[in-house]
Every structure is written in structure tokens, then in C-alpha cells.
């Protein structure tokens, strides 16, 4: 499989880009990889890159977007931060990826048993981590069940995963509220912004559409 070119990127629509990722995740789950020569792709992309999607995911070592979606060099922009939230710098990176570099899809990818979400649920405090986890707290507060405070912590994995899903959805809301560039592109259909969850138990990605 060759790296994307300006011509192949131009053929990609938001929906087609999403389908590419779904098919890639199916290959990953079945332990099948597309036939690609990564060193050849290094050469193919030496004069430019033409990715079709931008994926915001967690730094978790088990959730590499290139691997779980079976993509090669030059296929996707990968933005990674613990808890897959956005700030001004990440929004700027996404604006570059979509408006200037031509990607057609943004995926906000959370995952089960997320350590950052667990930390937010437990009100963990440690250096700069304390302020970082505050970015995820709105998702914790938005999940109203269970009401029993003894069940609203990292020991309750169902609660953790529900918060992780809510965090994905709130992150999408923030993208649309805080980036006029991306909101306008989304409204016009130039790009699509979707949420998804990766299951660390089986490698499956579930998209919220």
C-alpha cells in the first residue's frame, strides 16, 4: 500500500475516511495488516504528507492510533495527550491539520480503563498532573450515576468507562465551541468530527455516530 498523495487525499470524503479507519480496525482485530512497505513510505513522503484523518487520543501505550487503525506513514495526524482533551495548542494543531493540510475527519478517541480518567475520578494530585486532571473533571461531574460517592471512583470500572465516554463527547463539544475554523468546516461538510472508544480487552473501536 502506497502513502497518500495529494491526488488520493483529494478523493477522500469525511465518510470515506471514517470507513478507512473502520476497515483498518477490523484488520487489527483480526491480526491482519495491509501490505505496505514503511521504508518505501518514508521515501514517498519525503517531499510532503497528505493524511486523510486527524485522531486525538490518549498517551496510553496500548492505544496507538497508527496500530489500532492499521495505518502507515503519511496516513493520519496523531495528537496524543493523557485523557484525550483539548486546549488551545491542540485546537491549533487540529486547525492546521484540517484547514491547511487537508484532513477530512477528526476522531476523538477515548479508551476503557483510562488512567487519566481514573485519576480525575479519584481527585488525584501530583505536580502538574493536578491541573491536567481538572480538564477531565467536567466529565466526572456530568455523569450523575451512581449517586453513592463510594462507587464514584477508579475501583468502579463501569463508572470510569462511562466518564471516559462522556469525556469524549464533551471534548467534541469543546472543539465546536472553541474553534470557529473547525466548527465552520464541520458545518459545511468539509470535515466530520466523531467520537469513539477503544476497548483495551479486544482491540475493538466503537464509533459514536
- Mean pLDDT over 9-31 rounds to 95
- Mean pLDDT over 62-70 rounds to 96
Q: What is the CATH number of the domain that holds 62?
A: 3.40.1050.10
**Average pLDDT in the chain:** 94
pLDDT in tens, 89-102: 999 999 999 999 99
Asked if pLDDT for residue 44 goes beyond 80, the answer is no
The per-residue pLDDT for 58 is 97
- Mean pLDDT over 136-159 rounds to 96
Torsion of CA 152, 157, 161, 164, to 10 degrees: 60
Of the pLDDT bands very low, low, confident and very high (cuts 50, 70, 90), residue 72 is confident
Task: Write out the three cell numbers for 4.
Answer: 497518500
Asked if pLDDT for residue 124 goes beyond 90, the answer is yes
**Domain membership of residue 102 as a residue range:** 6-113+170-208
The per-residue pLDDT for 104 is 97
Domain membership of residue 63 (yes or no) is yes
Q: What pTM was estimated for this model as a whole?
A: 0.93
Higher pLDDT: 73 or 140? It is 140
Any known ligand binding at 4? no
Asked if pLDDT for residue 2 goes beyond 80, the answer is no
Domain membership of residue 131 (yes or no) is no
Domain membership of residue 46 (yes or no) is yes
- Mean pLDDT over 10-15 rounds to 92
Burial class (CB in 10 A: 0-12, 13-18, 19+), 149: exposed
Domain membership of residue 125 (yes or no) is no
Any known ligand binding at 60? yes
Domain membership of residue 69 (yes or no) is yes
Q: How many CB atoms lie within 10 A of CB 101?
A: 15
Of the pLDDT bands very low, low, confident and very high (cuts 50, 70, 90), residue 3 is confident
Strand order in the sheet with 205-208: 76-80, 53-57, 105-111, 192-198, 205-208
Report yes or no: 77 and 26 within 8 Å, Cβ to Cβ. no
Domain membership of residue 64 (yes or no) is yes
Distance CA 33, CA 67 (A): 9
Domain membership of residue 164 (yes or no) is no
Any known ligand binding at 111? yes
Number of domains in the chain: 1
The per-residue pLDDT for 87 is 96
Q: Is residue 90 helix, strand or coil?
A: helix
The per-residue pLDDT for 94 is 98
Burial class (CB in 10 A: 0-12, 13-18, 19+), 76: buried
Domain membership of residue 87 (yes or no) is yes
Any known ligand binding at 44? no
The per-residue pLDDT for 88 is 96
Amino acid at each position: 500500500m502506497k502513502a497518500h498523495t495529494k491526488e488520493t487525499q483529494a478523493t477522500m470524503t469525511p465518510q470515506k475516511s471514517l470507513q478507512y479507519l473502520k476497515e483498518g480496525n477490523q484488520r487489527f482485530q483480526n491480526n491482519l495488516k495491509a501490505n505496505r512497505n514503511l521504508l518505501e513510505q518514508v521515501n514517498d513522503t519525503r517531499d510532503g504528507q497528505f493524511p486523510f484523518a486527524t485522531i486525538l487520543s490518549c498517551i496510553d501505550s496500548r492505544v496507538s492510533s497508527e496500530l489500532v487503525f492499521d495505518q502507515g506513514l503519511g496516513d493520519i495526524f496523531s495528537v496524543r495527550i493523557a485523557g484525550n482533551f483539548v486546549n488551545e495548542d491542540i485546537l491549533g494543531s487540529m486547525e492546521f491539520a484540517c484547514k491547511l493540510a487537508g484532513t477530512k475527519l477528526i476522531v476523538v478517541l477515548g479508551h476503557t480503563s483510562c488512567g487519566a480518567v481514573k485519576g480525575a475520578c479519584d481527585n488525584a494530585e501530583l505536580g502538574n498532573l493536578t491541573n491536567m486532571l481538572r480538564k477531565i473533571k467536567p466529565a466526572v461531574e456530568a455523569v450523575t450515576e451512581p449517586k453513592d460517592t463510594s462507587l464514584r471512583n477508579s475501583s468502579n470500572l463501569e463508572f470510569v468507562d462511562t466518564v471516559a465516554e462522556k469525556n469524549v463527547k464533551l471534548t467534541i463539544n469543546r472543539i465546536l465551541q472553541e474553534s470557529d475554523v473547525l466548527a465552520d468546516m464541520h458545518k459545511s461538510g468539509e470535515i466530520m468530527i466523531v467520537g469513539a472508544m477503544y476497548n483495551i480487552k479486544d482491540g475493538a473501536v466503537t464509533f459514536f455516530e
